[in-house]
Structure 1
Amino acid sequence: MQDQTADIEWRDGRVPVSTRFDDPYFSLENGMDETAHVFLAGNDLPARFVDGFHVAELGFGTGLNFCVALRAFRAAACGGRLMFTSFEAYPMAMDDIRAALGAFDGLPDDLARAAAFPTHLEGSDFDLRVVVGDAREALPAWEGQADAWFLDGFSPAKNPELWSPELMAQVAAHTATGGTAATYTAAGFVRRGLQDAGFEVARVQGYGRKRHMTRAVLR
């Protein structure tokens, strides 16, 4: 698939919304708190952080999840480097990324200072790689394994290709034993896809207006 850039509009002047998928990039209530609840707590982080811990993500978006994870990694003071690999079909312009991240206080500025979209960005304590393209093609070719997955595509009802059973099987194939996955959605077909791929799946309390979310562990 030919790479395409994100088409966005701004809601309330601060929340980017994908016009392609008619879905916001993060919670209208508080995107940073949502990331902490869904993706950090959902993967038992920061307690599991160690040197070389590898987070993988479907849907880089604004990079908010990476920034929140990096902040938590630094606060955990476990030393070493955080590895972070994300798959993104429609990369956002850097000016839009900076504008989106600028709505939150206390985030590390490593991403916002990048000169161009970060297909590879390194710091003293992190290694960020964003694979641009269709995850259905890119993930099977990826040689890495994740300790934790942030499954953060747009709504399954609007972006079903990023939640297919085939892609969930690839997520499992690229997860270390005992690794985890978390997502804001509790859609039945997503949970079944993860379960069929080998994860133990639990529906737990969601963030904000979402009653439930999904946590999964690969045994």
Structure 2
Amino acid sequence: MADNDPYTAPETLGVLNWHEGDMPYSSAFDDHFYCRNDGRLECGHVFLSGNGLPARWQRQEPFRIAELGFGTGLNLTETWRQWQETAPEGASLHFTSFERFPMARADIDRALGHWPELDAQRARLTEKWPDTPDGRIEIDLAPGVRLTVVCGVALQSLAGEKIPFDAWYLDGFAPSRNPDMWSADLMAEVFRLTVPGGRFGTYAAAGFVRRNLAAGGFTVERRPGFAGKREMLCGEKPAA
């Protein structure tokens, strides 16, 4: 659709278009925000399964997930949905995402409205989402579930973090269209901010991405990708 689509919130005019009704498309990176087959199922295949979830969060110790690229909030809401169904009583989840161009509330609502399975999570997220998203956004979504979105350039944002994460969702736009999000420097920061035995998952399988992850210190595994895509990557930070 054109940039003057009346359903696009003013904050994202010029960088966000809509394809096929409710499929968000980034004009800045010339790419869709998620898999056109079914982004929710792709999240489960790539990010949750690639990180060994929900099995790894069966514990009382707080579980920390980090993500490169918040986008529509799809990965958050699907993870939260599965957490609600499977996490042990009294457990806590902290989901942190690093996003350069945060979407407006109306656009998040429109994009996530595609999945009725996520209606409860979508409603809560959009209720709490700030009118002008910037800086460091902190939201208590539910008892034991906290969201942090750090707005800005990913490499600079990660440099300011100190507490490592148990799992990483590497979900920037395609490496060919956004190579900075897959750079050796950024992958080294991801490794630094991963607990020993922590994991990552990504739909990306480009050779330079695999090499940068391995150079950063991860053991890297290739797996079949989602919806007929030949490969995806996942891996682990070796235990100390």
Inter-partner Cα distance in structure 1 for 2:151 and 2:164: 18
How far is 1:81 from its partner? 1.4
SS of aligned partner of 1:83 = strand
Identity of aligned residues (%): 42
Larger Rg: 2
Superposition deviation, residue 48 in structure 1: 0.6
RMSD: 1.3
- Which residue of the other structure, out of 155, 167, 184, is the alignment partner of 1:136? 155
Instruction: Give the Cα–Cα distance (whole angstroms) in 1 for the partners of residues 174 and 80 of structure 2.
Output: 25
Unmatched segments (≥5 aa) in structure 1: none
Which whole-Å CA distance do the structure 2 matches of 1:115 and 1:197 have between them? 34
Gaps of 5+ in 2: 1-10
1:68 matches 2:82: no
Q: Secondary structure at the match of 1:138?
A: helix
Deviations 1:64-89 (A, max 9, x none): 00001111111113132111110000
Q: 2:207 aligns with which of 188, 201, 212?
A: 188
- Preserved contact between residue 97 and residue 148 of structure 2 (Cα < 8 Å): yes
* CA offset digits 1:28-61 (Å, max 9, x no partner): 1111001010100110101111341000000000
Q: Which residue of 2 aligns with 1:151?
A: 170
Structure 1 runs of 4+ with >3 Å offset: none
Alpha-carbon distance change, 115 to 214 in structure 1, aligned in 2, over 3 angstroms: closer
Q: Helix, strand or coil: the match of 1:70? A: helix
For the residue of structure 2 that corresponds to 1:119, the secondary structure is: strand
TM-score in terms of structure 1 length: 0.95
Letter in 2 for 1:100: A
Superposed CA deviations along residues 128-183 of structure 1, whole A, max 9, x for unmatched, are 00000001111011122110000000000000000001100000000000000010
1:8 equivalent in alignment to 2:16: yes
Give the C-alpha shift of residue 97 in structure 1.
0.3
CA contact (8 A) 2:46 2:202 kept: yes
Q: Relative to structure 2, which stretch is displaced further, 33-42 or 208-217?
A: 208-217
The aligned counterpart of 1:37 is: 45
Per the alignment, residue 107 of structure 2 pairs with: 96
